[in-house]
Amino acid sequence: MQPTHLGNFYIKNAGPNKIALIDRDQAITYGELDEKINRFASYFLSIGVKPGDRVALSCYNSPLFIYSYFAVTKIGAVIVPLNLMLTPDEAQYILTNSGAKILLAHEKIAQKLSIDAEQWKAKLNLEDIVIFNDKTVQTIDTYPIGALPEVDPNSICALLYTSGTMGKPKGVMLSHNNLLANAHSCNVSLEGTGDDVFLCMLPMFHSFGFTVCVLLPLFSGSSIVIHDTFNPKEALRSINEQGITVLPAVPAMYVILSQALKKRPLSLSTVRIMVSGGAPLPREILNLFLDQFEIPLLEGYGLTEASPVVSFNPLSGVKKLGSVGLPLQDIEVSIVDDSRTKLPSNEVGEIVVKGPNIMIGYYENPEETADTLRDGWLYTGDIGYVDEDGYLFIVDRKKDLIITRGLNVYPREVEEVIYSHPKVLEVAVIGSADRTRGEIVKAVIVLKEDQQLEKEELIDFLYDKLANYKLPRIVEFTDSLPKNAGGKIMKRLLT
């Protein structure tokens, strides 16, 4: 792979007349994509965006998201995609922590977040807020293309926020080469060609969604069918009518698709490969697609700090049930004990990863960076083993981490908000298995003496403080929480 920055790699991998994006009934060629990105980049330069500036992006899955993301990176600025499920307080924390100078927001999201441009600019030290509406987009569409700056492929390209073990999100710094290396390795593993048609229904703000649904297909010169949200009926319609060949999704989506296919059997004859990531894939769902459709459903493993994909079960060769496959090309995986000594095959320890996809570090967080990056290895905190054939198996995930619909929830963050309720004495937040979501958030609560609290009252209290996916779906009240001799709550005893 020739090193290049994220803003222009796509123009080398397909002819200008090849279809790049399909959004509803609109088809956009690679030539048109390049022109749009250049116009957006020139416009952003005109409003004061400079190399190194952090630019936040809050937008639905759309060509507009892709134009903005690539245009920002094409001028050497740093893109900060915002999770669309964040509350205003959560979004403002990321804007403040990242030092974002510009906020790009779709007008519907701006309304949802109650964005008052002047108030937000003053409160968050923003230089400008661009609200994407018809007038703004028309202006950018006709903006003259000017000279663009040179970009160092090893510079920071994206700042992706992932929850920290202490509850506050951390900014993962990824370079242009980190992301492109991962797209290249994924393409080799999945044997991508320009003939593929990807269905993009995973959120583009998510690292897995952007790398596998946007970067990977553009890297291989493929076409992308864009869905702004996941709707099983619409997904199946696109598969049949638009000839989808690659279907990336999280396990919760495959559960829902399997239920929809039971009600309305359809042919998936065009699909050559399905990819699952973001959370463990239930074996019954894997078997359903393998038995009923004979389509490879490849489970993989990754994390944002690795851009994010580390491994996939191979498309060609042995696929081991229960395994997340083999490391991608150019990526090393090892298992170590607490003293950082490498363990032999089939022994359980911490998973560590090395490769060109590994992050630069955590933004303005040298302590966490030093703890996570050691001697070139990324210490994932995940527990697993590698068998004698090199296949990786996950035994446990990061301590306390809950994955619901492929999104990470760290209990400490939820606990801190629940603790702020005046009736709560103690709380432990854990994950509870759920067939559709993979896991849901469960809160076990001890109330202060002589206090009463209903679940509905608690959820009302939390509603504007936490994103919807972080809200407890199960609330259980108890007289006490199990603790060890040191007074630490023993969550493993809670179910």
Q: Encode pLDDT of 102-157 as tens digits.
A: 999 999 999 999 999 899 999 999 999 999 999 999 999 999 999 999 999 999 99
Domains within the chain, CATH numbers bracketed: 9-383 (3.40.50.12780), 402-493 (3.30.300.30)
Q: Encode pLDDT of 243-291 as tens digits.
A: 999 999 988 888 889 888 888 888 899 999 999 988 778 777 787 787 8
Q: What is the mean pLDDT of residues 464-469?
A: 94
Which tokens sit at 374?
């050691």
Determine the Cα–Cα distance for residues 436 and 429; give it in Å rounded to an integer.
Answer: 20
Q: Encode pLDDT of 2-55 as tens digits.
A: 546 888 888 777 889 999 999 998 999 999 999 999 999 999 999 999 999 999
| 165 — pLDDT class (breaks 50, 70, 90) | very low
Which tokens sit at 219?
């890297």
Which tokens sit at 76?
């050497």
Q: What is the mean pLDDT of residues 479-485?
A: 81
CA dihedral 419, 162, 137, 222 (to 10 degrees): -140
Q: Encode pLDDT of 429-440 as tens digits.
A: 999 999 888 899
Which tokens sit at 341?
């000594």
Burial of 239 (0-12, 13-18, 19+ CB in 10 A): buried
| Predicted pLDDT of residue 167 | 61
| 179 — pLDDT class (breaks 50, 70, 90) | very high
Strands 78-81 and 54-58: parallel
Percentage, residues of the chain above pLDDT 70: 97
Q: Encode pLDDT of 355-391 as tens digits.
A: 999 999 999 999 999 999 999 999 999 989 999 999 9
Q: Encode pLDDT of 205-221 as tens digits.
A: 999 999 999 999 999 99
| Predicted pLDDT of residue 1 | 45
Cβ(121)–Cβ(102) under 8 Å? no
Q: Encode pLDDT of 331-358 as tens digits.
A: 999 999 989 999 999 999 999 999 999 9
Q: Encode pLDDT of 288-336 as tens digits.
A: 787 878 889 999 999 999 999 999 999 988 999 889 999 999 999 999 9
Q: How many residues does the chain have?
A: 495
- Give the pTM: 0.88
| Predicted pLDDT of residue 287 | 79
